[in-house]
Chains A and B, each alone.
Chain A
Amino acid sequence: MSEFILELKNASRYFGPVIALKDINMQIKLGEVHCLLGDNGAGKSTLIKILAGVHPPSEGEFLLDGQPTGFKSPKDALDAGIATVYQDLALVNLMSVTRNFFMGREITKKWGPFTVFDLERANEIARKGLSEIGIDVRDPEHPIGTMSGGERQCLAIARAIHFGAKVLILDEPTAALGVKQSANVLKVVAKARARGLAVILITHNVHHAYPVADRFTLLNRGKSLGTWLKKDVSREEILEMMAGGQELADLEAELAEFNRIDTN
């Protein structure tokens, strides 16, 4: 058993002439929330696609539990316990909580000579899985279309946890959510960590990431700026290091300039 469940060593990914990622080093530890920060186009999506088995790295090493590995498909990654919750969540709004929870992985029982979808047990498991992460479902047979964005995000996470995820990759889980719902999702992230999962949280919102994250990796234009433990870095420093930090400072200076002209 290696110290790290997932490890990238000098991993690069090219798409034709485009260098999407260059020499990325990253270590993912169980029981830790690893936050991946970067502005649009920094390479966050490519990096999670490497971890999720969508693209293999063009160069460099990809270690799973200390062993070199090469996922051929997202299914390989899933079988190894690496579950990715993309922004579209892979949920169907017209279907019930339970039917979504077990979509593609229905539990069955024997009913006479037939194999049937065990809806009673599925309802129970779905309800329990959600209540464990703090979401109370009134009626697991109710379509999820009426649930809030945060609840749906939590449903997708609960589903991944139930089906044996060891590493949970969350792609911008709070991007479209309000303040309160974001807080709920972040609570779920903390609960997943408490259960010993490794969580990779992708975001460009430092304020969401900072309270739950243990480690930060910053990406900028396809390169890693480095990885820091939370105790070694402040929220402002991270903001500063992200491309946005300098830009915002420039903006502030510019606005101050306007003000000066106005007062004159």
Chain B
Amino acid sequence: MSTSLKTDEAAHAQSPDDERVRSVSLVKKLLTRPELGSISGALLVFAFFAIVAGDSGMFNADGILNWSTVSAQLGILAIGACLLMISGEFDLSIGSMIGFAGMMIAIPALYWGWPIWACILFAFSGAMSIGFLNGFIVVRTGLPSFIVSLAFLFILRGLTIALSILFTNKTIVSGVAEVAEGDIFAAAFGGEIGSSFFNWLATMGWIETYTDGSPIVSGIPMVIVWFLLLATIASFVLLRTPYGNWIFASGGDAKAAKNVGVPTDMVKISLFMFTAFCATVFAACQVFEFGSAAADRGLLKEFEAIIAVVIGGALLTGGYGSVVGACFGALIFGVVQMGIFFTGADSDWFRVFLGIMLLAAVLFNNFIRKRVTGSV
């Protein structure tokens, strides 16, 4: 018996392939990776601007810092939006949340005399509670998250303006920089790291300096550090943990996931809280970098984040996507936005490009999904 089994196995080993399975080339295998589109798109965009704007300073130290900061800001939002979209939901209130969270930091710091750490804690817990409410309503009512978060888009924007006028009589609260001077928690969002390294590069003459000898890039902004940190954690969680598997399952087929015991409601609610967390990180970085909060901050950011995620290969219907892809989506966004500025072209063209890019990405993703689900 055992020998016959062995020969059976040997036969299997010799002809492992079904005669009905075509051998698929590496290119075709790569095509089913969600991040492929955005990585190749990013390469294209870099090549394009290297040719068109190579001598405009876009790829000097300060130019690089410029577009990487813009990309990192959007990337932070895209990471949250990406996980949420994979779980099958949207959050259109991210943009309004940025304005709201910024005020939750600035007003207590300037008008109520709270210490900086308390303001930050207040903003994060406030934003995440709203994220919880958002998610709770979505999973309990079964309403599309599009509608629920659209409602919160207006509620939060309205509240931000109304409350800041109520408490401060202004819609732009400035002067945070003075209060936060030397505070380590403020520096964790608005500060820079690696200053001594850049000073050293300047003294070695490897990067350009101002006339007083200080380097034109004084350090790496914390927003980039946050972006890289969040991207690493989110990607790891998505691909390598049971919770990550639940995210895919909740978005792929919530009913099937529930039937095998995946707590889909918990997954979705926690991801609404995570997008609110990301929006607050964005807001905190902005408030402490510029030293002010404004009620109109973050306008349209929800759409930019969704665009970055979709360019990054995620399906709007959920169940498929990649954090790395979303990060490259944000990078494309930042590079093009700044690249158009560096080439001196009218920035209106940026929007035209963005729209076309979005359309191309969605068409490409549709094609990929059909491949993955076997309907091609």
Residues of A within 8 A of B (CB): 75, 86, 88-95, 99, 102-106, 108, 111, 114-117, 119, 131, 136, 138, 143, 145-147
Contact = CB atoms under 8 A, between A and B. Distances in A.
B240 interface: yes
A93 B373 contact: yes
B261 A95 contact: no
B17 interface: yes
Contacts of A115: 241-242
8 contacts: A91-B253, A92-B249, A92-B253, A92-B257, A95-B252, A105-B261, A106-B242, A108-B242
Interface of B: 12, 16-18, 21, 32, 240-242, 244-246, 248-249, 252-253, 255-257, 259-262, 315, 319-320, 369, 372-375
Given A88-B255, A117-B240, A138 B248 contact: no
A116 B240 contact: yes
Contacts of B242: 106, 108, 115, 117
Given A92-B319, A93-B252, A95-B249, A104 B373 contact: no
B255 to A, nearest CB: 7
Given A92-B249, A104-B249, A145 B259 contact: no
A117 B244 contact: yes
Given A104-B249, A138-B16, 4 more contacts: A75-B261, A90-B260, A104-B257, A115-B241
Contacts of B260: 90, 103-105
A89 B242 CA distance: 21
Contacts, number: 92
Contacts of A111: 240
B252 A92 contact: yes
Contacts of A103: 245, 249, 256-257, 260, 262
Contacts of A106: 241-242, 245
A90 B249 CA distance: 10
Contacts of A75: 261
B16 A136 contact: yes
A131 B12 CA distance: 10
Given A75-B261, A94-B320, A138-B16, A102 B373 contact: no
Nearest to A108: B242
A264 B260 CA distance: 62
A255 to B, nearest CB: 39
A95 B248 contact: yes
Given A95-B249, A103-B245, A105-B261, A88 B372 contact: no
Contacts of A93: 252-253, 372-374
A117 B372 contact: no
A258 B268 CA distance: 62
Nearest to A88: B256
Most B Cβ at <10 Å: residue of A92, A106, A143: A92
Contacts of B244: 117
Most B Cβ at <10 Å: residue of A95, A99, A119, A131: A95
Contacts of A146: 372-374
A90 to B, nearest CB: 4
Nearest to B373: A145
A95 B319 contact: yes
Given A90-B260, A104-B260, A117 B245 contact: yes
B241 A116 contact: yes
Contacts of A114: 241
A124 to B, nearest CB: 16
B240 A138 contact: no
A177 to B, nearest CB: 16
Most B Cβ at <10 Å: residue of A75, A86, A145: A145
Given A89-B256, A138-B21, A145 B372 contact: yes
A111 B237 CA distance: 12
Contacts of B375: 145
Q: 9 smallest A-B Cβ distances: which pairs?
A: A145-B373, A92-B252, A106-B242, A146-B374, A104-B260, A104-B261, A90-B259, A94-B319, A90-B256
Given A89-B256, A93-B253, A99 B248 contact: yes
Most B Cβ at <10 Å: residue of A93, A105, A114: A93
B252 A147 contact: no
Contacts of A108: 242
Contacts of A89: 256
B310 to A, nearest CB: 16
A103 B248 CA distance: 10
A114 B241 CA distance: 9
Given A94-B248, A136-B16, A147 B374 contact: yes
A116 to B, nearest CB: 5
B234 to A, nearest CB: 14
B374 A145 contact: yes
Contacts of A131: 12
A186 to B, nearest CB: 19
Contacts of B246: 104
A254 to B, nearest CB: 42
Most A Cβ at <10 Å: residue of B18, B240, B244, B245: B245
Contacts of B249: 92, 95, 99, 103-104
A75 B315 CA distance: 32
Contacts of B315: 94
B372 A143 contact: yes
B262 A104 contact: yes
Given A93-B253, A104-B257, A136 B18 contact: yes
Contacts of A86: 259
Nearest to B319: A94
Nearest to A75: B261
Contacts of B262: 103-104
Contacts of B369: 94
Given A99-B245, A104-B261, A119 B252 contact: no
Most B Cβ at <10 Å: residue of A86, A90, A114, A115: A90
